[in-house]
Structure 1
Amino acid sequence: MDSSLIRGALYWPDHRALELCLTGGRRYLYLGVPAEVAEGFAAASSKGSYFNRAIRGRYDCHPLRDEEPARRAVND
């Protein structure tokens, strides 16, 4: 993933949950994210801009601890 803000992303469609790992290493889980928003994020040429425009502040956000496992990657 080529972004100055976001290092990686995972999406669980059955739970409508998007996990984002920021370049500083912090991880967050966004709940209630529709598949089309996650797909838009995966397709965006600027992940950080898409995140700021379509995700940040729009969905319930929870910080994650480092030891919580990732499950499935969103395509770059």
Structure 2
Amino acid sequence: MVRNIFCINQNMPSSVVHHFIYFPDTEILRIIYQSGAVYDYFKVPSDIIEKFKEARSKGQFLNKVIKPRFKYMKIE
């Protein structure tokens, strides 16, 4: 089974987000923070991912749009 995966990590201008990986088949957004912490956000639709990619401030977008709307879990 092949999974579609979307990953962004090259030259991300963010003091909060190191990079992210999006799994469109399951709508899971995995955020790898600059601190090294890893979180999965569940049922994040692709239109939100497109807006996240374009956001000038990834941290502000996470705090205002993603965290309040989507369940998440820290990955150990």
Unaligned runs of 5+ in 2: 1-11
Q: Which amino acid aligns with 1:59?
A: F
Q: Who is 2:43 aligned against?
A: 32
Matches within 5 A, 1:11-50: 11-50=22-61
Larger Rg: 2
| 3-state SS of paired residue (2:13) | coil
Deviations 1:33-67 (A, max 9, x none): 010011111111111111111101311101113xx
Q: Which amino acid aligns with 1:36?
A: D
Give the deviation of 1:31 after TM superposition.
Answer: 0.4
TM-score norm. by structure 2 comes to 0.80
Unaligned runs of 5+ in 1: 66-76
Q: CA RMSD in A?
A: 0.9
Structure 1 residue runs of 4 or more that deviate by more than 2 Å after TM superposition: none
- State the distance in 2 between where 1:9 and 1:40 align: 13
| 3-state SS of paired residue (2:26) | coil
| 3-state SS of paired residue (1:14) | coil
